[in-house]
Amino acid sequence: MGKINLKLLIVDSEDWTFWFHRLSLAITVKANGFDVTLLTRCNEYASKIRERGINVSHVDFVRSTRLPIKDIINIYKLHSLFKLHKPSIIHNVALKTILISSLAALLSRKTVVVNAFTGLGYVFSSEQLLAKTIRLFIKPVFKYFATRPNFWSVFQNPDDMNLFIKQGMAIAERSVLIRGSGVDTEEYTQMPDNNDVPIVMLASRMLWDKGIGEFIEASKKAYENNINAKFVLVGDVDPENPMSIPEATLNKWASEGFIEWRGHCANMPEMLGNASIVCLPSYREGLPKVLLEAAAVGRPLIATDVPGCREIVRNNENGILVKLKDVDSLYRAIEFLVQNKKTRLDMGAKSRVIVETELSNVIINRKTIDLYNMALENI
């Protein structure tokens, strides 16, 4: 890079998602000569982000689909902020933010707009009426975005990228595959598994489409069959997501004794280091950060054979891919790894190698900066 007077605006719905997923990118880009500003809903992480040299402006984003008036207000506010900052690049993160911010950026013809799809989530994985209705309305909008010569699309897995290109919602020549946001291999160091009784952990937001229902059923089956393992859920509820599991349901499961729910965790390296096996039987992902982090600390992985998960889980190398929404397939994979410690350790070591050689934040940040340079040269 090395250019002066270049401005990057990163638009992310929550300050905490930026802190955990893109702070490293912002710091690296700033070191390469950019003035970097984050537009986000400011909560507890905003001051910490400013302390790291990143400008932060508040936008009252809502992730729920039930407040369209608020979304319209945010489109206008973003448009005003774009006129004020006159950025060289606008980097939008996640589906709804991409939609709102891209509409606000339509008149910014001399600005590169990078739309980073972190997964297609509820809107594209669910068959609920609400999800189908949203898909019906947003597909033409994304097709229009694809015609804009200054708009670029970033995908975390080839399945999502091919889907968007096939349906005309992205142009192949301006679509780039960058697998995830990377993981800090110095923060997430390889750790030994010192558990006498294996701990099988699922860490995520408590959403049905993360496969938590299937994990619960597999845990019950293991409990009934006296499998020598502990089963742990880590993560909080997400009331703004229509797939959120009620807190009362989680407490009920925990009270029945076959599962432990630990709620939100502020120290994920330590938490994942306490696991023996990390599971994510999700229905669809971009590239799940928790599996990257678990791989970095040297853990074997179990995940569904779906887009996103198979970008980090190499079947029978560093983990096991199981069938979608299939409790028996998940249970058999858990049972096998619980009962085969050497395989667990071998797979965990392979996980670490994959992250170090392909998916560290240093590698991912470099690819993102290369994209910025390429897009700026073609504006």
Residues 106-120, mean pLDDT to the nearest whole number: 93
Mean pLDDT (the chain, rounded) = 94
pLDDT tops 80 at residue 126: no
Element (DSSP H or E) covering residue 301: strand 301-304
pLDDT at 134: 82
pLDDT at 123: 72
Predicted confidence (pLDDT) per residue in 50-96, tens digit: 999 999 999 999 876 666 899 999 999 999 999 999 999 999 999 99
The residue type of 11 is V
Q: Is 141 strand, coil or helix?
A: helix
Rounded alpha-carbon distances, angstroms, from residue 167 to 97, 98, 117, 153: 20, 18, 15, 14
pLDDT at 197: 97
Predicted confidence (pLDDT) per residue in 194-241, tens digit: 999 999 999 999 999 999 999 999 999 999 999 999 999 999 999 888
Question: Beta-carbon neighbour count of residue 44 at 10 Å?
Answer: 9
Percent of the chain with pLDDT over 70: 97
Rounded alpha-carbon distances, angstroms, from residue 117 to 123, 183, 340, 344, 363: 12, 18, 37, 32, 18
| Residues β-bridged to residue 7 | 35
Residue 129 pLDDT level (bands cut at 50, 70, 90): confident
Look at phi and psi of residue 279 and say left if phi exceeds 0, alpha if psi is from -120 to 50, else beta. beta
The residue type of 71 is D
Residue 1 pLDDT level (bands cut at 50, 70, 90): very low
Would strands 55-58 and 319-322 be described as parallel, antiparallel, or unpaired? unpaired
Q: Does domain 6-182+360-377 have CATH number 3.30.420.110?
A: no
Predicted confidence (pLDDT) per residue in 360-369, tens digit: 999 999 999 9
Q: Is 232 strand, coil or helix?
A: strand
pLDDT at 2: 46
> Closest by alpha carbon to 275, among 258, 298, 257, 255?
298
pLDDT at 288: 95
Domains 6-182+360-377 and 199-359 share a fold: yes
Predicted confidence (pLDDT) per residue in 179-204, tens digit: 999 999 999 999 999 999 999 999 99
Residue 131 pLDDT level (bands cut at 50, 70, 90): confident
> Closest by alpha carbon to 175, among 183, 185, 187, 167?
167
Residue spans of the domains in the chain: they are 6-182+360-377, 199-359
> Closest by alpha carbon to 60, among 40, 80, 45?
40
Q: Which of 133-137, 212-216, 372-376 has the lowest mean pLDDT?
A: 133-137
pLDDT at 130: 77
Q: Which of 116-125, 168-177, 307-316, 319-328 has the lowest mean pLDDT?
A: 116-125
pLDDT at 212: 98
What is the spatial distance between Cα 204 and Cα 245, in angstroms, rounded to a whole number?
A: 12
pLDDT at 135: 84
Residues whose CB falls within 8 Å of the CB of residue 163, separated by 6 or more in sequence, listed in order: 120, 124
| Residues β-bridged to residue 113 | 90, 151
pLDDT at 4: 54
* Domain 199-359 class in CATH: alpha beta
The answer to whether residues 262 and 253 touch, using CB atoms and an 8 Å cutoff, is no
In the block, which residue shows the tokens 């945010």? 74
pLDDT at 66: 66
